Structure 1
């Protein structure tokens, strides 16, 4: 997409606005499958928590992707989008046995990450195919909020608890068909990932009837020019060989599964917002926009850096601005950022806005959530309408007149 295309979309659909590039999603999917083309049985399950719009799910379903889900609601969205139950993988954390049984009844693959629920479910449903999530106790890098494979993480069953795990499986005679891990984002060093993979291989040796190994994801994408990213091609070369060798040792041709989210959709997304005001103070020039952390919380929550471009004046002289929102709290997107000279009414584009942006949006300050548009075949397709006042009121129930004070 060119700046002129984005400007046209902001005029057509208003701002703020999320725009996703279908071609970029496709190219990322194809890049990953190509990197692991030496693996005979490869499966990609899109981690839909990154971006759960039904149109995006349908786009990926058409490419052959499965789904990685973390809640029964995501499972239901996946089914609604047209995914067959057997192509949906369910990996919850801290949910009730009742929810897991609801999902099991829908026919999707269950992944259990704690001993208590594993034993309870196995005692009731010993013949149901189950995957087990292992915590490899590996720090993958990145923000602490998204590193989920370390020893203090709430996720997964510790590798040190394998004897207990095996005893539960033997006592219940459960049908264990897969072993799973997820170290979290952002993987900077593929050797760390390969080290964690060896831990998964060691765990897999305890189970004789496996059908797949799920290595999670957490692949880092670039957020600025010359930024570090996971070397997918090098990882594909090294892990494919190691995986194929393990399958020979195991005596069975297993399926290798990944569950990328950010890797597939982050770079495809751009968030468009209008400059409401240029405010000069004694020390700072603020650019106040028509959005806030109610729409894009990652810079405040994760400390993430999103490249910002003035698409109304892309070749203008650069000046320093602190880009801030309209929320009644500090919501700074960028401090002293070099951006082409701004004026009120200009449209800014925030890059890498495809993952964990709209999906973490809220109605804080009773603001509306923005529209979403999919750019496909040279045209913008509205895939979610901008919210209205009626949407804010939809599930609210006022007091009866006689109960008012």
Structure 2
């Protein structure tokens, strides 16, 4: 999006506000699907947790993608957005058997990642095909908080427990129709991911009724100029060759699955905030904005980098600023960052704000969550209203048990 368009959105809908450019989502989807055009059956299931606005789910579903969900509420959002149950996969972690059964009743593909629930579900529902999430014990992600395929991860069933899985399958008579893995986000090395894929192929040989193999996702996107990213084209070429070869060995055309979240929506998003105060101290120039980590927690939580531009003065002389929020504790988005000269009242934009920004927002400090806008075909469309004080209090229960009483002696 152009700076003028972002400024127009800020003027019309006020700040702080999230803005998503649909054209970037579409181009990312086409790029990923194009990398696997030589595979006969490919299924991309968008990871809802990245950004769950119904308008976004409708857009991505219109491109041909299904959904990857981790809670029954995400499943319900998908159904509300018009996604067919058979186009949704449910991959929870640590949820109750009851929740899995409720989702199963909706006709959604179940993906189970622990032996206990696998045995319980198989014993009660042997006729319901199930996918199994495998932990390949491969560390493919770059950040320890978002790497989930290593040996100490709580996710997936260890590859060393395949005999246990096979015993459960035999004892219950259940059908395993899919094998799944997810090594984590920010995959830096294609070869490491391909190594993990070989483990998944070897595991798949144990199951004779597979319909699909799901390789998860975690493709890294660039966060700043010159930043490294997953080479999707190289990855597509290499995995396509190996997947097609495996299908011949297996004797059946399987569906190749992925679950892109951040890859599809991260670069589409901008978070716009107004500068409330420029504060000079003895060593630092702070730009304090009308937001905080209640709206954009990733820099504080993951130490993630978001490019910051002053869209009110994009060609101004660059100075060094520390961008901070209004939360009453350490609340730093960037330290000593070179940004075009900032004045109070300017609008600044955080890039890569499409994934895990609104979805991780909160009402901390009793602040309202911002509005969301979709920029589509050159027009701004409000897709979530800004919260109000009524939203903040509507589920609270006012009880009258604290009235003062006077005792008479």
TM-score by length of 2: 0.98
The Cα of 1:141 is off from its aligned counterpart by: 2.7
Secondary structure of 1:323's counterpart equals strand
The match for 1:97 is 97
Write the distance in 2 (CA, Å) between the matches of 1:200 and 1:211. 14
The match for 1:343 is 343
Structure-2 change in CA distance of 1:200 and 1:404 (3 Å): farther
1:359-378 correspondence runs (5 A): 359-378=359-378
Write the distance in 2 (CA, Å) between the matches of 1:205 and 1:404. 70
Secondary structure of 1:52's counterpart equals coil
* Deviations, residues 50-96 of structure 1 (Å, cap 9, x unaligned): 00000000001111110000000000000000001000000000000
Write the distance in 1 (CA, Å) between the matches of 2:394 and 2:230. 43
Write the distance in 1 (CA, Å) between the matches of 2:117 and 2:365. 39
The match for 2:282 is 282
Write the distance in 2 (CA, Å) between the matches of 1:138 and 1:109. 25
The Cα of 1:137 is off from its aligned counterpart by: 0.3
The match for 2:4 is 4
1:380-391 correspondence runs (5 A): 380-391=380-391
Question: Structure 1 stretches of 5 or more lacking a match?
Answer: none
The Cα of 1:143 is off from its aligned counterpart by: 1.1
Secondary structure of 1:277's counterpart equals strand
1:1-400 correspondence runs (5 A): 1-400=1-400
* Deviations, residues 213-241 of structure 1 (Å, cap 9, x unaligned): 00000000000001000000000000000
The Cα of 1:404 is off from its aligned counterpart by: 3.5
Write the distance in 2 (CA, Å) between the matches of 1:250 and 1:379. 49
The Cα of 1:399 is off from its aligned counterpart by: 1.2
The number of aligned residues is 404
The Cα of 1:403 is off from its aligned counterpart by: 4.2
* Deviations, residues 135-162 of structure 1 (Å, cap 9, x unaligned): 0000013111100000000000000001
Write the distance in 1 (CA, Å) between the matches of 2:175 and 2:315. 61
Secondary structure of 1:296's counterpart equals coil
* Deviations, residues 315-351 of structure 1 (Å, cap 9, x unaligned): 0000000000000110100000000000000000000
Write the distance in 1 (CA, Å) between the matches of 2:253 and 2:203. 17
* Deviations, residues 269-288 of structure 1 (Å, cap 9, x unaligned): 00000000000001100000
Q: Is the CA contact (8 Å cut-off) linking 2:141 and 2:218 kept in structure 1? A: no
Structure-2 change in CA distance of 1:191 and 1:404 (3 Å): farther
Secondary structure of 2:267's counterpart equals coil
Secondary structure of 1:266's counterpart equals helix
Q: What is the aligned-residue RMSD (CA, Å)? A: 0.6
Could you tell which deviates more after superposition, 163-172 or 361-370? 163-172
Write the distance in 1 (CA, Å) between the matches of 2:271 and 2:403. 42
Which runs of 4 or more aligned residues in structure 1 lie more than 3 Å from their structure 2 counterparts after TM superposition? 402-405
* Deviations, residues 155-197 of structure 1 (Å, cap 9, x unaligned): 0000000111111111111110000000011101000000000
The match for 2:407 is none
Question: Structure 2 stretches of 5 or more lacking a match?
Answer: 405-409
TM-score by length of 1: 0.99
Write the distance in 1 (CA, Å) between the matches of 2:97 and 2:313. 55
